[in-house]
Homo-oligomer: A and B are copies of this chain.
Amino acid sequence: MERIERHACFGGWQDVYRHESKVLGCDMTVGVYFPPQAEEGPCPVLYWLSGLTCNEQNFITKAGAQRYAAEHGLILVAPDTSPRGDDVADDEAYDLGKGAGFYVNATREPWSRHYRMYDYIVEELPEWVESDPAASDRRSISGHSMGGHGALAIALKNPGRYRSVSAFSPIVAPTQVPWGEKAFSAYLGDDREAWKQYDTVELVKNAREKLPLLIDQGEDDNFLAEQLRPELLREACDAAKHPIELRMRPGYDHSYYFIASFIGEHIAHHARALKG
């Protein structure tokens, strides 16, 4: 493990680490924000999953989340979005391969060797983070777009593991929209039944734990109608009596300007769950 960046930020430290991932078979970079409270004892952790094309930098440089994490005493962990390296399979398109891991365990060649982002996020990354005495084992999860899909699906698949979950502009039904169909075909093959294990709309139907879903969605998001389709999740939640707070935000788009505007509310939400 190597610390490759350290910046004082809102009284704490915004770090970037490189660590070896056995699960992914490559080195991974991770942004970790330690709030000032981490000097005094273990702090709970909010995991943030970024969207297509992102790496660990986007959230830590653009969301302005450190201010709120410092207020509430949360550690923020922002991993990269796929395995990386010269020997990792890739595709020319922005929505497949590097930068587009979709938080699944790939089962098909050439992807299955490295693309195991689900196991990395659920198991290996928290093990590594929570071995630091500054981190407690209380954790929540959030994310944006592809990372919103990841956060929701991972929380629903792992009852009891996360105190709270939220998402910005998530891909809620990857099995029904072009981004998800393309990625899942490549990573998981043609059996659409196998896709459902990573689809939030499907998972909510049989969720054992009724963890409330907090979602913000911009109404002027270019991807809303074709790729995101939050109404499918609202309908599934209503049918399953699964609690959801879906906030449609007039005027807002898919960018980090949107995330920055409401990340404070999400962090307050997670802080209540993590410290309650």
**In the complex the two chains form, is B220's CB within 8 Å of A257's CB?**
no
Of residues 252 to 267 in A, which have CB atoms within 8 Å of B's CB atoms?
252-253, 255-258, 260-261
At the interface, yes or no: A7 with Cβ under 8 Å from chain B?
A: yes
Kindly identify, within residues 1 to 38 of chain A, every residue whose CB is under 8 Å from any CB belonging to chain B. 7-11, 14
In the complex the two chains form, is B64's CB within 8 Å of A9's CB? no
Cβ-based interface call for A140 (8 A): no
Q: Does A66 contact B (CB under 8 A)?
A: yes
What chain B residues lie within 8 Å of A11 (beta carbons)?
261
A275 within 8 A of B: no
- Asked whether any CB of chain B lies closer than 8 Å to the CB of A247, the reply is no
What separation, in Å, do the CA atoms of A260 and B64 have in the docked complex? 8
Pick the residue among B10, B249, B253, B255 that contacts A261 (CB under 8 A): B10
Tell me the bound Cα distance from A218 to B6 in angstroms: 14
A7 touches B258 (CB 8 A): yes
What count of chain A residues pass the 8 Å CB interface test? Answer: 24
B253 with A7: CB separation less than 8 A: yes
Q: Is the CB of A8 within 8 A of B260?
A: no
Q: Interface SS of chain A: helix, strand, loop or mixed?
A: mixed
A61 interface hit (Cβ, 8 Å): yes
The reply to whether B10 and A260 form a contact with Cβ atoms under 8 Å apart is yes
Contact with B along A57-84 (1 / 0, CB 8 A): 0000110101100000000000000000
Are B8 and A218 neighbours in the complex by a CB distance under 8 Å? yes
A253 touches B8 (CB 8 A): yes
Do B67 and A257 have beta carbons less than 8 Å apart? no
Question: Measured between C-beta atoms, what is the minimum distance from A252 to chain B in Å?
Answer: 4
- A9–B261 CB distance below 8 A: yes
- Chain A residues 85-133 with CB under 8 Å of chain B are none
**A220 contacts B8, C-beta separation under 8 Å:** yes
Assess whether B8 is in contact with A61, with CB atoms less than 8 Å apart. Answer: no
One of B14, B67, B251, B258 near A64 (C-beta < 8 A): B67
Complex Cα spacing A75 to B205, Å: 47
Chain B residues lying within 8 Å of A8, measured Cβ to Cβ, are 218, 220, 249-253, 257-258, 261
Provide 22 A-B residue pairs closer than 8 Å at the C-beta atoms, listed in order of the A residue.
A7-B252, A7-B253, A7-B257, A7-B258, A8-B218, A8-B220, A8-B249, A8-B251, A8-B252, A9-B260, A9-B261, A10-B261, A11-B261, A14-B257, A61-B62, A61-B256, A62-B62, A64-B64, A66-B257, A66-B260, A67-B260, A67-B261
